Amino acid sequence: MMPKHCFLGFLISFFLTGVAGTQPAHESLKPQRVRFQSQNFHNILQWQPGRVLTGNSSVYFVQYKMYGQRQWKNKEDCWGIQELFCDLTNETLDIQEPYYGRVRAVSAGSYSDWSLTPRFTPWWETKIDPPVMNITQVNGSLLVILHAPNLPYRYQKEKNVSIEDYYELVYRVFIINNSLEKEKKVYEGTHRVVEIEALTPHSSYCVVAEIYQPMLGRSQRSEERCVETP
């Protein structure tokens, strides 16, 4: 890690002299594979170092803008960082709008050109986490209660927003009979409370669930929840 006083001195020198005071841009410094990764609208810009960079020898500068805007905006928390990612969730809250991000590397007084992301629209491109399950045994049946993932920001003050506030989600619930090593889909639909009946007494079962949304595809499966029937 670069000492703090050296790092601050570098930034001051860089911005006082401007780009003209550094060496010419080097294609080999240019950040690679610059992409948004989005999970439940947590929108993270990620990249890889340029071809000649290894370790912590460079710092990175991040800018972003909404599609159609002329002016790029600096992401202050990602201005002169050594990490290979930048959280742009708060800068991309209008999830139906497309955005761009870009990254520049500076190393030993040389700078790269900007590396630009493809156009990114959270509404189309975010990935969904699996549902959270609660399971209760009721009179020989299993009552499965499903919860959709929450989003990283609030729709109203003091109210968490679920991804269900934006999409109609389809839940798929599967049960596994451990003694038979057999899996069966027992439900597919929009309800979040599912009752599984006709279970064999004194048997071991595991339940797993996933979310499907036609535009976004399906989530990974939830962790198995296992019970013994009385």
Taking only Cα atoms into account, the Rg of the chain, rounded to an integer number of angstroms, comes to 24
The two three-digit tokens of residue 37, written as one number: 């990764």
Q: Is the pLDDT of residue 154 over 80?
A: no
What does the pLDDT read at residue 71?
A: 97
Number of other CB atoms surrounding residue 62 within 10 Å: 28
The position carrying tokens 């599967």 is 174
Name the nearest CA neighbour of 179 among 208, 209, 202.
202
Q: Region 55-70: what's the mean pLDDT?
A: 90
Structure tokens at 87: 């959280």
Q: What is the model's pLDDT at position 161?
A: 75
pLDDT, mean of residues 11-36:
65
State residue 17's pLDDT score. Answer: 41
Q: Which helix (H) or strand (E) holds 96?
A: none
Structure tokens of 208?
Answer: 């797993």
Determine whether domain 132-229 maps to CATH 2.60.40.10. Answer: yes
Alpha-carbon distances of 193 from 82, 133, 137, 158, rounded to whole Å: 46, 10, 13, 25
Helix H or strand E segment including 209: strand 204-213
CA–CA gap between residue 33 and residue 5 (Å, rounded)? 31
| Token pair of 229 as six digits | 């029937």
75-100 burial, b at 16+ Cβ within 10 Å, e below that, comes to beebebbeeeebbbbebbeebeebbb
Tokens 């057999």 -> residue = 182
Structure confidence at residue 124 (pLDDT): 93
- Taking residues 201-228, report their average pLDDT: 94
Q: Is 215 helix (H, G, I), strand (E, B) or coil?
A: coil
Q: What are phi and psi of 120, to 5 degrees?
A: -125, 125
Give the pLDDT confidence score for residue 15 in this predicted structure: 43
Question: What average pLDDT does range 92-115 have in this prediction?
Answer: 93
- Asked, colleague to colleague, whether 25-124 and 132-229 share their fold, the answer is yes
For 107-123, write each residue's pLDDT tens digit. 888 889 999 999 999 99
Domain boundaries, the chain: 25-124, 132-229
In angstroms, the first-to-last Cα distance of the chain is 58
pLDDT in tens, 45-56: 999 998 765 556
Q: What is the pLDDT of the chain when averaged over all its residues? A: 86
Does the pTM exceed 0.85? no
pLDDT value, residue 23 = 53
Q: Give the DSSP letter string of 113-173.
A: PPEEPPPB-HHHH-BPPPPEEEEEEETTEEEEEEEPPEEEEEEETTEEEEGGGTS--EEEE
- Note the pLDDT tens digit of each residue in 175-214: 999 888 899 999 999 999 999 998 999 999 999 999 999 9
Protein fold of 25-124:
Immunoglobulin-like (2.60.40)
Is the pLDDT confidence value at 4 over 50?
Answer: no
Residue 57: the pLDDT is: 75
